[in-house]
């Protein structure tokens, strides 16, 4: 069974901080091989001290990550990534500042051998409303927000509480199904942004606390309907940022189930996949005991 290569689209208007976010992911890859796709190398988002070598259209980055340019042929660039040895674990596709990430995500979703992990939109806490009200750029900014599974409200350290609250409310008025996360310099825990980080090197039943997030690993030994579990994990009732796990259905087959905000997916997985679930939520709303009870009642 060939495992689909997960793709996360990073979007947001010019100057929002996409470059900072991508570099933070690369600096904290922790052995995960990330492939960063950019529209053109002229706008290379990689900090120089991370670059180890460049050959043709591929830049080698410390830790086994790579950066490639996709230009006008995204499908060909994604296909070429499959030929790399070793193959990447996850693709981060940085859209241009004026692109509509939802259209890119739709194209990726139609490609065999790839799975859409989610759309992350980076917004500048200080300039978001000004940009959204601009005569020429406003439509692009609001449509980008509407495409989001996760909105990263960046540069929150540069604004007062009222501006942050106003920008939060404004963003969520367009990103109606998204989780909004505040950040400084694009720095957020990688497992919040990319599903490939979720559950790495964690014991079942363990609870973890990273900055403004809580996560918990849960056993899930009882067979269940993976689609029903996916819908439940993405529901308003749980209000999770992310969840990822492996479960068995009634026939004994293993499925990978994941959610990001209100998007969810389920697909066949190898038999030796570790059965269990990792859930990530925002503090202080994240209630571990309530979550355990909800999962147990619905699928225990």
Q: Please report, in tens digits, the pLDDT of each residue of the chain (300 residues total).
A: 678 899 999 999 989 999 899 999 999 988 899 999 987 645 555 777 777 777 667 888 878 888 888 777 889 989 989 888 889 999 999 998 889 999 999 999 899 899 999 999 999 999 999 999 999 999 999 999 999 999 999 999 999 999 999 999 999 999 999 999 999 999 998 889 998 877 655 444 444 444 578 889 998 889 999 999 999 999 999 999 999 999 999 999 999 999 999 999 999 999 999 999 999 998 888 898 999 999 988 886
Rounded to whole angstroms, the Cα distance separating 144 from 107 reads 16
Pair of tokens at residue 194: 């990319």
How would you classify the pairing of strands 58-61 and 51-55?
Answer: antiparallel
Measured distance CA(280)–CA(276) in Å, rounded: 14
Judged by DSSP in three states, 257 sits in strand
For residue 51, the model assigns a pLDDT of: 78
CA-closest candidate to residue 78, choices 52, 43, 115: 115
6 SS3 class: strand
Q: How many CB atoms lie within 10 A of CB 257?
A: 27
pLDDT at 45: 59
SS3 sequence of 18-83: HHHHHHHHHHCCCCCCEEEEECCHHHCCCCHHHEEEEECCEEEECCCEEEEECCCCHHHHHHHHCC
Domains of the chain: 5-193 (3.40.50.300), 198-299 (3.30.1220.10)
The two counts, helices (H) then strands (E), for the chain are 9, 15
Kindly list the distances between the CA atom of residue 253 and the CA atoms of 198, 199, 248, in Å, as whole numbers in the listed order.
22, 21, 5
């Amino acid at each position: 069974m060939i495992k689909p290569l997960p793709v996360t689209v990073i979007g947001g208007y010019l100057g929002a901080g996409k470059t900072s976010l991508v570099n933070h992911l690369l600096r904290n890859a922790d052995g995960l091989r990330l492939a960063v796709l950019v529209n053109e190398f002229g706008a290379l988002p990689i900090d120089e001290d991370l670059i180890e070598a460049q050959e043709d259209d591929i830049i080698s980055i410390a830790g086994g990550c790579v950066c490639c340019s996709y230009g006008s042929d995204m499908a060909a660039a994604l296909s070429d990534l499959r030929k790399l040895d070793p193959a990447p674990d996850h693709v981060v596709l940085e859209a241009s500042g004026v692109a509509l990430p939802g259209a890119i995500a739709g194209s990726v979703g139609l490609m065999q051998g790839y799975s859409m992990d989610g759309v992350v939109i980076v917004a500048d806490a200080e300039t978001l409303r000004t940009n959204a009200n601009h005569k020429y750029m406003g439509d692009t900014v609001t449509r980008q927000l509407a495409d989001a599974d996760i909105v990263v409200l960046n540069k929150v350290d540069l604004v007062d509480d009222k501006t942050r609250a106003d920008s939060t409310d404004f963003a969520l008025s367009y990103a109606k199904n998204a989780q909004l996360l505040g950040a400084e310099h694009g720095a957020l825990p990688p497992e919040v942004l990319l599903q490939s980080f979720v559950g790495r090197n964690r014991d079942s039943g363990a609870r973890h606390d990273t900055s403004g997030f809580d996560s918990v690993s849960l056993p899930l030994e009882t067979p269940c309907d993976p689609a029903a579990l996916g819908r439940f994990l993405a529901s308003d009732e749980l209000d999770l940022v992310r969840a990822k796990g492996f479960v068995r259905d009634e026939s004994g087959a293993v499925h990978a189930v994941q959610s990001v905000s209100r998007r969810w997916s389920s697909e066949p997985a190898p038999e030796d996949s570790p059965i269990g679930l990792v859930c990530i939520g925002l503090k202080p709303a994240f209630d571990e005991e309530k979550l355990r009870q909800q999962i147990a009642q619905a699928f225990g």
